[in-house]
Structure 1
Amino acid sequence: MAQILVIDDNLSLCHLIEKVVKKIAHTAVVAHTLDEGMEKGQAVRPDIVLLDVHLPDANGLEAMEQIRRLPSNPEVIIFTGAGDPDGAEQAIKSGAWDYIEKSTSIQNITAPLLQALEYRAEKCTKAPVFLDRKSIVGGSPQITECLDQVAQAAMGDANVLITGETGTGKEVFAEAIHTNSLRAKNNFVVVDCAALPHELVESILFGHEKGAFTGAEKTRNGLIKHADGGTLFLDEVGELPLDLQKSFLRVLEERRFRPVGSHQQVNSDFRLVAATNRDLETMVQAGKFRGDLLFRIRALPIELPPLRDRSRDVRDLTIHFNDKICDKTGIRPKRFAEDFFDSLLYYPWPGNVRELLHAMEHAVSAARFEKTLFVRHLPNTIRVHLARQGLKTGNGDGMEKPDKGIRLDRPLQDVRNDAVAEVEKRYLNALMQSVVGNVQDACRISGLSRSRLYHLLKTYELNRTV
């Protein structure tokens, strides 16, 4: 029997869904605010969460990540009173199972609920996948989800498109897909599309016959042939010349091509993984990338999060890089000053994981003959940023230490919810004082319904009378 958590402030709808869930032999637990839902989610460990968009204390779409971090890692179905295409897109991209309008029939709510339950049951009985993570470090929910997608990709042979900002580790993830696939014993061939010389690009990819052009002194296989039986990784695929995209599309469809200067076609059984930091859909609309090629290469999309969105992993990455760099240079791993990690958390890392790696290389080099890494050892770009923000840690420079009252181990959504709750409580307390406990006046001023006002007063333990 599955647990279904319904988070919605519409009492009649919650009652109706309770009946539906009971009818299909499962248990429904109802909450009317996000805070209440999170509390019950910790207690009942739901399999499915039916989540309203417009909650009294939060936006359901913005709370998606928080909901999915519940211990049971539930599937989430978003349902709302007003359909919004942008909201639907955000929900699906955030990992929602479905996005449903409340105006639809109860049958339309039941169908995705049953499908989600079936998927959940199969997922829970699936054998665990043991993944060789290569150099992928971190245990944040964002990176864990990406690793699940890597495991999914490795089990098949579909084309994969990895997207993300510069420095997020796209090649590392591509290699992890290859290493965990059945093609692992064969070549992993990297093609940097941004570095391909235009006049030689066809020769580099497809190979050439002797005498095909000036300088072609002997027959050479291209990179696509080198990837036969293995994985072809097209890095920065958005930079692939437009006139070559049509030719490559045919190669993808047939896994056959003709080397430059040859009359014979050559076969290559490769698996494609592509990566880019560009918005390929926008490029398609601008006529700079072929739409049919985009559809072909993104059978399995994986979007890597920027480091600023997975700050929980900064410490693990830093320790990993410290050990790796020190081992490579033949020195003992450095210790860290008390404020070192705090400072790293205050920096936004526009260059992502690659920038953190370079920062650690700089720090270890600067502290070559010292046992401990201090903030002083970090690159000046980072130290200047911290100084400008007024958050630089104390390290002998007379700088003020960061506010220790701010817990950086908490998700932003949790901090935001607490702040909103505090403001709401102060507002309601002042409101009830100003109307001397008159509920009708309070509803008129605040725009709240009587039932909603009563609910909030109860939530914040405020008295109606002053």
Structure 2
Amino acid sequence: MKNNGHMLIIDDDIEACETMKSLISRMGHSCDMAHTLTSGLRMATEAEYDVIFLDVHLPDGNGLEILPNLMAQPEHPEVIILTGKGDPSGAELAIKGGVWDYLLKPSSVKEITLTLNRALKYRQEKTRKIGEEIIPLNHVIGTSQGIRASLRLTAKAARADTNVLITGETGTGKELFARTIHNNSKRADRRFVIVDCASLTETLVESTLFGHKKGAFTGALADHQGLFKLADGGTLFLDEIGEMPLSIQKAFLRVLQEKHFRPVGATREETSDFRLIAATNRDLDVMVAEKRFRSDLLFRIKTMHIRLPPLRSRKEDILPLINSRMEYLCNTFGFTEKKLAEDFLTTLNGYTWPGNVRELFNILERAMVDAGEEETLYSVHLARDLRIRVAKSQIKNITGSEAVLPANEPAGENVRKIGQIIFEDIVDSTLPPLKEFKSAVERIYLSELIRQCNGELSKILGISGLSRSHLYALLKKNNLRL
């Protein structure tokens, strides 16, 4: 890192800004200022800053609101929160958001100087280690800010030997990240043992995890090694730990704390030196508050926390993911290499991806099977229900009932795309007579219009541009009612 730091002050108190900027300049650093949340966020994303002083109370919002945006940057700045009011809850939120420190205004020159120097020293040491954090990606695809932030934490987790909690929606790749940590850790040459917590039952948990001795119970015809012992020296991956029954959590916590356990029917305890990685799509903090998950267990498993972003928040990664998966499918199953039509990518980018990367891969494989020997993947090769969802979403953009039409895309062009998707949905192969096609589209439009307007006549007439008599004639023709 350069010797002189680059700072940004986001504060609506102009006099305080000028005073702090003067102090920072005398320390040999450069400094910019912003007096609103909007301008501050814009400056923070357009330039690279080492430290950002962020006021909590700004004219256009709370400074804490932009913390996720700042922390999502590839080499995010250190953030020091400023506030003129004692706000314990604000301090808690700031610390949880990953800020460097929290200063009350007015702060003394000494406080500002010491805090800034500590932040810069930490940043300098952190920057030196960036080269050490590069690890093989092992099929983790993506260049978005969110996924890069997750990869940086993954690299740190691989070098450490602490417990790790990986959270994210279904299909975001939690097991893949867990394997990446294991494969790049000092335990890489030992086993990676998966425990499906959702399948654990009270009757089988002890035998499954602890193992058992021959004759310990009916059907125990031989000694059985449990998963704890199998993971000795390696990594124990608890998949969907949020599904672990509360009655089982206490027994597991003891093993996690002491690394001692006793197989069913055994007289002596055994030991296992395993590294724990847990994953869940649930909010464990909420479950703790609802007394459905033990707080002491959460404390143990959450030494490091890696959050995986949903695919809808990193759509720039969709094309690289598609290209990588297509190469895999072609090499593994002998599929013909495909080109991607613009409407194919447009449809995928318009989807919200509730199943995330897993859903993307399933949809892509289905499309390639459907395309057969054809050279290009078009929107028509995608599942019908997916195209319908995207079409409805784009219709909402036009009507403004639930979303706003993007300013850079003319309504006419959006209508053309929607028409094309609906057209493909109605006619996947042979064209019907024009009259039949128009009737089908008309009924789809009227049904969606009624749904979006909740049957309110004035809204329906305003959006459609129809007269009352014409509307009722169309409803009668299509056997529809408000």
Is 1:4 aligned to 2:28, yes or no? Answer: no
Match of 1:386 in 2: 390
Is 1:319 aligned to 2:304, yes or no? Answer: no
| 1:123-142 correspondence runs (5 A) | 123-126=126-129, 128=131, 129-142=133-146
Match of 2:214 in 1: 210
Please, which of 63, 77, 80 is the counterpart of residue 80 of structure 2? 77
| 1:403-414 correspondence runs (5 A) | none
SS in 1 for 2:342: coil
Q: 1:242 to 1:81 in 2, by over 3 A?
A: same
- Answer yes or no: is the 8 Å Cα contact 2:315–2:349 preserved in 1: yes
TM-score, scaled relative to structure 1: 0.79
- Answer yes or no: is the 8 Å Cα contact 2:335–2:368 preserved in 1: no
Is 1:201 aligned to 2:205, yes or no? Answer: yes
SS in 2 for 1:343: helix
Please, which of 219, 230, 235 is the counterpart of residue 234 of structure 2? 230
Match of 1:282 in 2: 286
Match of 1:252 in 2: 256
Match of 2:19 in 1: 16
Identical-pair percentage: 49
Q: How many residues align?
A: 400
Is 1:47 aligned to 2:34, yes or no? Answer: no
Is 1:301 aligned to 2:315, yes or no? Answer: no
Match of 2:223 in 1: 219
| 1:49-448 correspondence runs (5 A) | 49-56=52-59, 59-67=62-70, 73-82=76-85, 84=87, 87-103=90-106, 105=108, 107-126=110-129, 128=131, 129-390=133-394, 392=417, 395=420, 398=423
- Answer yes or no: is the 8 Å Cα contact 1:366–1:377 preserved in 2: yes
Unaligned runs of 5+ in 2: 396-416, 426-482
Q: How far apart are residue 67 of structure 1 and its match?
A: 4.2
- Answer yes or no: is the 8 Å Cα contact 1:46–1:72 preserved in 2: no
| Distance in 2 of aligned mates of 1:53 and 1:18 | 18
- Answer yes or no: is the 8 Å Cα contact 2:394–2:418 preserved in 1: no
SS in 2 for 1:244: helix
| Distance in 1 of aligned mates of 2:155 and 2:311 | 21
- Answer yes or no: is the 8 Å Cα contact 2:72–2:146 preserved in 1: no
Deviations 1:53-84 (A, max 9, x none): 44456653333454456786422223233455
SS in 1 for 2:189: coil
Q: 1:69 to 1:201 in 2, by over 3 A?
A: closer
- Answer yes or no: is the 8 Å Cα contact 1:192–1:234 preserved in 2: yes
Q: How far apart are residue 20 of structure 1 and its match?
A: 3.2
- Answer yes or no: is the 8 Å Cα contact 2:336–2:373 preserved in 1: no
Deviations 1:273-298 (A, max 9, x none): 00111121222222222111110111
The aligned amino acid for 1:224 is: F
- Answer yes or no: is the 8 Å Cα contact 2:168–2:310 preserved in 1: yes
- Larger deviation, residues 264-273 vs 102-111: 102-111
- Answer yes or no: is the 8 Å Cα contact 2:41–2:66 preserved in 1: no
| Distance in 1 of aligned mates of 2:120 and 2:197 | 43
Aligned CA RMSD, in angstroms, stands at 2.6
SS in 2 for 1:63: helix
- Answer yes or no: is the 8 Å Cα contact 2:166–2:174 preserved in 1: yes
Q: How far apart are residue 160 of structure 1 and its match?
A: 0.5
Q: How far apart are residue 371 of structure 1 and its match?
A: 1.4
Q: 1:145 to 1:220 in 2, by over 3 A?
A: same
Q: How far apart are residue 381 of structure 1 and its match?
A: 2.6
Unaligned runs of 5+ in 1: 401-466
Q: 1:106 to 1:311 in 2, by over 3 A?
A: farther
Q: 1:338 to 1:386 in 2, by over 3 A?
A: same
SS in 2 for 1:182: coil
| Distance in 2 of aligned mates of 1:399 and 1:9 | 53
